[in-house]
Structure formats: structure tokens, C-alpha cells
Amino acid sequence: MSSPAPNTQDTAKEIKRIFALQSAHQWDVKASTAEQRKAKLQKLKAAVEAHADDIVAAVLEDTRKPEQEIRVTEVLNVTGNIQRNIDNLDQWMTPTDVVPSTNPDDKAKIIYEARGVCLILGPWNFPLGLTFGPLAAAIAAGNCCMVKLTDLCPATGAIAGRIIREVFDEKEVALFEGDVSVATALLELPFSHIFFTGSTRVGKLVMAAAAKHLSSVTLELGGKSPVIIDEGADIGKIGAALAGAKQFNGGQACICPDYVFVKEEQKDELVEAFRSSVEENLYSGDGTINKQAIAQIVNEGNFNRVKGLFDDAVGKGATVAVGGTFDESDLTVHPTML
């Protein structure tokens, strides 16, 4: 199933129905062979490739990312991830001999087993890539999965649901769409494992919900990534790399550089290198930014949060070295250095 139920009560019932279905079926999936799992992964990979143009159109509608960026992060990254699981699955499923103790007569092996029924909660910054990546790993490990994409990317959620319905029976993988109430209903269930990608704030809520059932959890949360420049560095190259990294996905990535440590005597050169690269790649001769070359901020709330951080810094004495323009009409933040 891949569309929200008519009301909260019906949604909760449908979630419980699917969970019960997958809980009963998990033993068959756990017992599946490497070849059976690889066949499922091959089918998923083929479906992603077949729907590549649909994926690009959907993510573009939701995020206004550059088309080539979408193809890399939401298509090629996904198919490459699936293929890595296929290539390594035989090795991962092979028991490993270990030395259990000092007793020479003892024998022991490490055998990796499936968790059971897993929940995958995807993010909005790479809505397909960071949802289908964990899904591929869960399938390779022999799990059943219930999947929830963010409601901030409805077009992507729709194509993801279409792909999942084509590839899997709902007793093995099912996708749910909807707002936070759907995620809340899902988190009430005793999943074997929960994989969440998103903010630290929501990560705490996921961890608290998982603790009620002692569910194991993987949290891929936000970051504040520094750039540290020493005196022997090529400032021109670093300035260009910084500009490209901040342009990528409109700066909306946990590994995006947020602040720079640089020696005072290198600061001006770095600012100019950053400015030159931004102007060359994003702006026309009349100073107009090419908004098809940079993603918008995902929604008004996050746009206002970013602008609030900027206003706070300037209010406390920070100087705008590059950028500082916020286009509220289309949620564009120009690359900015303070």
C-alpha cells in the first residue's frame, strides 16, 4: 500500500494490519538464500533504472534540485548502493570462524541473522537516496520493511510507492505516505529495528519510542562540519571546493561545510576565491543567479530558520563577505559567507 488512509483511525488500522502480516512472514524472509535476496535486489535496481526519469521529475518538483544532481544522488547512488549489496552478500552471509576461548576443543562461528520487521523513516534532503539505501541493506539482510518517506516530498513519495508496489508484496515491503501522525502511529509498534535519517530533535523522539520496545536503532542525524585550512594549502582550490560544497543540494546535507578555521593572513584570499567560484558557476553577467543550478530550501519553515541564523549573526556583529541575499518568494538562499 502506498497512499494514506482516509482518517487517522483507518491509517492506524492499516499500519497494524501490515505489521501483523510482515511479523508472520518474517520467518520465511529470514530463511531466504543469498540468491533469493539478490534476485529481489536486482528487481529493485531494475525498477529504479526503469523509473529514472520519473524519479528526476518527482524530486525536481519537490526540491528544485539541478537535474544532474538528482540523477547522481537519487538514481545512480541508489543503484550503486543496491549493486554493492548484491556484490558482497555471499561474503556477508558466510559464517566466520572465531576462537571462542583458550579451550582447544571449543568451536565458535559468527553468523549474521536478520533482525525481523524493520521501520525506515526517510529524510527530505535526499528523499529517495537515503530511503532506498537503507531499504536495500535491510533486504540484503533478510528483513521485512515498513517504509515512510517525508511528507515534505509528496511527488517523490508517490514514485517510491509505485516502485515498491511493482517489486514487493506488502507482506515483505510496504510504503506509507502521510504527515507526522503516520510516523507517530508507526513508532508505536515493536519493530525489530528502526532506521531514521533526519534532525537531532526528531531523532530523540525516535529513540524514545524505540526504547519502549527495546528496538535497536540506527540514527543518521545532522552535523556541523568544519573546514580546517593550514598554511600550506592551495587557497584557490579550497575556495572553489567550498563553493561547490555549499551549492550542493542548496547546502542541505549533514556533510555540508558550515564553518571554516583559517589563518588570519589567508582569510581575504579565501573569501575572494569563494566569491569568484560562486559568481562563475551561479551568476550571469548582470548579477542574476541561475536558480536552476541550486536547490531551494525545502520549505518556508526551514527558510526562516536559516534566515534567522543569518540575522542573528549579523545582529551580533558578523560581516557579510559574500552573498547574504534571501529570496522568500521561491525559498532561495544565495551562497553566503560571513
Q: Looking at the DSSP assignment, which residues form a beta bridge with residue 175? A: 147
122 within domain boundaries: yes
Span of 8-12, 247-251, 255-259 with lowest mean pLDDT = 8-12
For residue 118, the enclosing domain spans 8-221
Max mean pLDDT range (63-72, 76-85, 103-112) = 76-85
> Could you give the CA distance from residue 132 to residue 4 in angstroms, rounded to a whole number?
20
Work out the pLDDT band at 13, boundaries 50, 70, 90.
Answer: very high
For the annotated catalytic residues, the residue numbers are: 220, 254
If DSSP states are collapsed to H, E and C, what string results for the chain? CCCCCCCHHHHHHHHHHHHHHHHHHHHHHHCCCHHHHHHHHHHHHHHHHHCHHHHHHHHHHHHCCCHHHHHHHHHHHHHHHHHHHHHHHHHHCCCEEECCCCCCCCCEEECCCCCCEEEEECCCCCCCHHHHHHHHHHHHCCCEEEEECCCCCHHHHHHHHHHHHHHCCCCCEEEECCCHHHHHHHHCCCCCEEEEEECHHHHHHHHHHHHCCCCEEEEEECCCEEEECCCCCCHHHHHHHHHHHHHHHHHCCCCCEEEEECCHHHHHHHHHHHHHHHHHHHECCCCCECHHHCCCCCCHHHHHHHHHHHHHHHHCCCCCCECCCEECCCCEECCCEC
Work out the pLDDT band at 198, boundaries 50, 70, 90.
Answer: very high
> Could you give the CA distance from residue 307 to residue 301 in angstroms, rounded to a whole number?
10
166 within domain boundaries: yes
pLDDT at 235: 93
CATH code of 323's domain:
3.40.309.10
Q: Is the pLDDT of residue 33 over 90?
A: yes
pLDDT at 7: 59
Q: Is the pLDDT of residue 204 over 60?
A: yes
Of 166, 194, 221, the residue at which a domain comes to its end is 221
Same domain, 297 and 188: no
> Could you give the CA distance from residue 273 to residue 237 in angstroms, rounded to a whole number?
8
Same domain, 212 and 248: no
Mean pLDDT, residues 87-104 taken together: 89
pLDDT at 8: 67
The residue among 254 and 46 whose pLDDT is bigger is 46
338 within domain boundaries: no
Same domain, 85 and 198: yes
Of 204, 221, 238, the residue at which a domain comes to its end is 221
User: pLDDT of 169-187, one tens digit each?
Assistant: 999 999 999 999 999 999 9
Same domain, 96 and 125: yes
Whose CA is closest to 242, among 266, 277, 269, 267? 277
pLDDT at 170: 97
Q: Is the pLDDT of residue 4 over 50?
A: no
Of 163, 190, 221, the residue at which a domain comes to its end is 221
pLDDT at 203: 96
Q: Is the pLDDT of residue 3 over 50?
A: no
Q: Is the pLDDT of residue 164 over 50?
A: yes
Work out the pLDDT band at 282, boundaries 50, 70, 90.
Answer: confident
The residue among 293 and 139 whose pLDDT is bigger is 139
Q: Is the pLDDT of residue 5 over 70?
A: no
Same domain, 33 and 148: yes
Same domain, 130 and 73: yes
Same domain, 232 and 312: yes
CATH code of 208's domain:
3.40.605.10
Same domain, 168 and 308: no
pLDDT at 6: 44
Same domain, 146 and 20: yes
pLDDT at 55: 98
Q: Is the pLDDT of residue 195 over 90?
A: yes
Same domain, 183 and 73: yes
pLDDT at 210: 98
How many domains in the chain? Answer: 2
Across the chain, what does the average pLDDT equal? 92
Q: Is the pLDDT of residue 101 over 80?
A: no
Same domain, 140 and 231: no
The residue among 249 and 4 whose pLDDT is bigger is 249
Same domain, 115 and 156: yes
52 within domain boundaries: yes
Work out the pLDDT band at 1, boundaries 50, 70, 90.
Answer: very low
